[in-house]
Structure 1
């Protein structure tokens, strides 16, 4: 279920979030903010469902002969380029989230930070992350701090459990994670 190349981390919070469930290890723009900021779950759910619709339709849009038309491929390629350029412009505005190594499951997330966050176990906060590299937007997810510990390389790990996502957002998040995991497996097979 998990990436065999991922570092082995022995901590109770690691087991609580990632044992017996699908998880993904990747680098994503992400950050944690302490406090009870308002999260609009419907906006986050809508964004994740829209990403799913776009990504799932790319593999399914076929013409009558079973192949994607050349003109459709060109349009998709142009849209991809426009989205990449928009993403670069947004990042240049300085509002970009820092790129961080993380582990993500339906239960929560482990962020690898530089300095200690200072968040106490049990405190509330928000994790913001960019779920797709082609879309320069992020989602905010409510979390509860489980633990924080040194990573042995001068930084810190912060374990965060998702809190009060609601059924719709939870399902959209699980679907997104499944697609990310499936993509990682396909990429690994291509590299063999």
Structure 2
């Protein structure tokens, strides 16, 4: 390969113009050079000596005759199970299957309206709801709000729907009591089905 030298003639215009010089790239910070690569650290950790750890199988207690604890005996069967505090029986409602599209729409409207009323109770009384859930007395704490909403629900829902299923009570159990009817308390009336 032949290298050719090219001479550039400088004329008066280019001789006066300074030639731009690009500065060298900045030097990397010192920590980037001093830190070992991740793979080196992994290799060092893998080659480090290990200390065997013996698993503890028994608790080492001092052998003192005065501090001996008698071995725990299981309680008699009568004491293991307490039948005195059994929860009240749960009333199960079955959701009806509407026959027509109009009836289906009425049931959906009743369900939605009950959900709205109970959600408002929950929203505006959050502290009472939390306390009632813990103490299993939601109805006693929220009696006025629940009874007021029940009246509004009964006025709005058609008797045909109300005679088949109590969506308001169902929503109380699902939303306020988190699916546990016992959290409503003993004073709470169960599902109300209006008979015509």
Scaled to the shorter chain, the TM-score interval is under 0.3
Q: Could you say which structure has the larger radius of gyration?
A: 2
Greater helix proportion: 2
Which structure has more RCO (C-alpha within 8 Å, separation ≥ 6)? 1
TM-score normalised by structure 1 residue count? 0.25
TM-score normalised by structure 2 residue count? 0.25
